[in-house]
Structure 1
């Protein structure tokens, strides 16, 4: 089965969800967490609590099965009552290891948290398209499997069975995907850009062609035929959703592929230019600098320095 366009985006940024653990708690409590430095997801596996996210106004009441994803570095507070003064998470969890941590006071609520690792220099392709905060209701018909996945994750996190780490990682990956699918299901509310165009099923055949063979010299008429649309209708519809024309999108996709290859190493700049579909090293370097502000060699050097830190 060939990859759908959204899968190719997730593969390009190498999105890897990780369940970092969680805690049980009861009674009166409040914990303040610092701004995360990665895309983070918060899961209420049992019970309920209040969640206050920096810059998001009034606290949110979170119930069993609810999930919230933060794509921006915003501090947040979890509590049984938003009027309780919170203790810093670094103090509360000092000395805690991975797994489920008992905060004391009972186990009325079970919270699970995780983050999503992405390839250096490539994660912005996805992160820049996401709102700062995404909340998915556990009973939403847009995420029909979310509640059962959360229940399975909670069960695995509470055991020491063989392969528990593998299972938790796989379930976290599926939960992350369900969050994104639920977000994409509200396609009419998405702003023009990558996610909006990926959510449109009419354009999927054309996107599959461009993602599958990015180096090919695609022409507008053949992409329009793949989408079963006239050339004009296709170009107009694509630009309305993507914020750019189909061939401009293809050029940008090639540059994102080049970013990943520059970070990975093992190929010369000339080889990368040819593989992703540029006619010359100069054309590639000029286009790359327009998009990133750096030449390919500068981008590679910066990514190597970042990885070494």
Structure 2
């Protein structure tokens, strides 16, 4: 059976990691606005508070791992003591690349491994909304080991470094989302796969995107009435079933057009269009350009 989460992460092509070790003491707050980047943090010691724009503050303890697939703006601060309003700390970058917040001679109270990466897929805007806007895993040793491997590989100059990093990041993202105990109420693919009724239809779509699916057929996969399935899918995944199917087909089409290993007719057949003209019309409506033009540009 198809694994939708693995497919989405692989197509996103995570890359260009930046990872650093941060030591802090006293009252501190650091504000960042790295729009569109993937942010992750592993708390190695102490406690800290994460505030992502538009979400309530979250306290992190030793061993906690947090992943935010598309950061719009966030701050990380001390949890005890609570920093005064308006405080903005100025991190010091050490010669070894690690970061110090607070007096250099003070005992280290908080230690964290933080990192950023970006998605190399040109159609990331279609895929990122399928993920939760935040995932938190509490005390997962595997995530800590993976985060350290990513950091070590990012700092090294070994052969095939970029290939190794891309695969490590894929595993890190999948493990973080799979282990997450807190994804909030954000609709998306992960919530859909966690839903006993929707897991089957989602896997069916990914296993056979070329099939002429209808809402009624997918509802039978879910064991629900057509109206109950439509309402539940929309609420949990964040879009209507046919919209999800169309979005996934277009994502696959763009991937195949970029690879240039298939003709437009072959792509049309692989994603469920009865003719090249029907596929070209649907692709043009969705992407603003016909498939041949998109392939030349890619």
Q: Shared fold by TM > 0.5?
A: yes
The unaligned stretches of length 5 or more in structure 2 are: none
Matches of 1:276 and 1:218, distance apart in 2: 11
Q: In the alignment, what sits opposite 2:108?
A: 107
Cα deviation, 1:159-203, whole Å, max 9, x if unaligned, reads 999x9x89998776555334424668768x344x54443332223
C-alpha separation between the residues in 2 aligned to 1:172 and 1:240? Answer: 29
Aligned-pair distance for 1:274?
Answer: 2.5
Partner of 2:39: 40
Q: 1:149 aligns with which of 142, 147, 172?
A: 142
1:168–1:49 distance in 2 versus 1, CA, 3 Å: farther
What's the Cα RMSD here? 4.1
Residue 257 of structure 1 deviates from its aligned partner by 0.9
Instruction: Say if 2:177 is the partner of 1:197.
Output: no
For the residue of structure 2 that corresponds to 1:128, the secondary structure is helix
Larger displacement relative to structure 2 (147-156 or 197-206): 147-156
The answer to whether the 8 Å contact 2:281/2:290 transfers is: yes
Between the aligned partners of 1:93 and 1:210, the Cα distance in structure 2 is: 48
Structure 1 segment 231-242 matched on structure 2, within 5 A: 234-235=229-230, 237-239=232-234, 241-242=236-237
Q: CA deviation at 1:268?
A: 3.5
Distance in 2 (alpha carbons) for counterparts of 1:155 and 1:72 = 21
Return closer, same or farther for 1:243/1:60 CA change in 2, 3 Å cut-off: closer
Query: Is residue 177 from structure 1 mapped to residue 180 from structure 2 by the alignment?
Result: no
Q: Measure the CA separation in 1 of the matches of 2:30 and 2:215.
A: 54
Q: Which residue of 2 aligns with 1:142?
A: none
Partner of 2:123: 122
Contact 2:132/2:183 (8 A) holds in 1:
no
Q: Which residue of 2 aligns with 1:141?
A: none
Question: Helix, strand or coil: the match of 2:250?
Answer: helix
Distance across 2 between alignment mates of 1:75 and 1:243: 24
After TM superposition, the score normalised by the length of structure 2 is 0.71
1:86 to 86, 89, 105: 89
Alignment partner, residue 282 of structure 1: 277
Task: State the number of aligned residues.
Answer: 284
Going from structure 1 to structure 2, the CA distance change for 1:209 and 1:129 (only over 3 Å counts) comes to closer
Contact map agreement 1:44 1:110 (CA 8 A) in 2: yes
Aligned to 1:68: 66
C-alpha distance after superposition, 1:29-61 (max 9, x if no partner): 55444425411112212112344545657x654
CA distance in structure 1 between the aligned counterparts of 2:245 and 2:143, rounded to whole angstroms: 37
The answer for the alignment partner of 2:205 in structure 1 is: 210
String of CA shifts for 1:191-232, please: whole Å, max 9, x gaps: 4x5444333222322322221121133455654444344556
- Contact conserved, 2:65 with 2:143, CA < 8 A, in 1? no
* Deviation of the 1:135 alpha carbon: 5.8
Question: Could you tell me whether the CA contact under 8 Å between 2:137 and 2:176 is conserved in 1?
Answer: no
Return the offset for 1:112. Answer: 0.9
Does the 8 Å CA contact 2:4/2:206 hold for their aligned counterparts?
yes
User: Residues 227 and 124 of structure 1: is their aligned pair in 2 closer, same or farther, counting only changes over 3 Å?
Assistant: same
Normalised by the length of structure 1, the TM-score is: 0.69
Q: Distance in 2 between matches of 1:30 and 1:182?
A: 28
For structure 1, which runs of at least 5 residues remain unmatched after alignment?
A: 139-145, 305-309
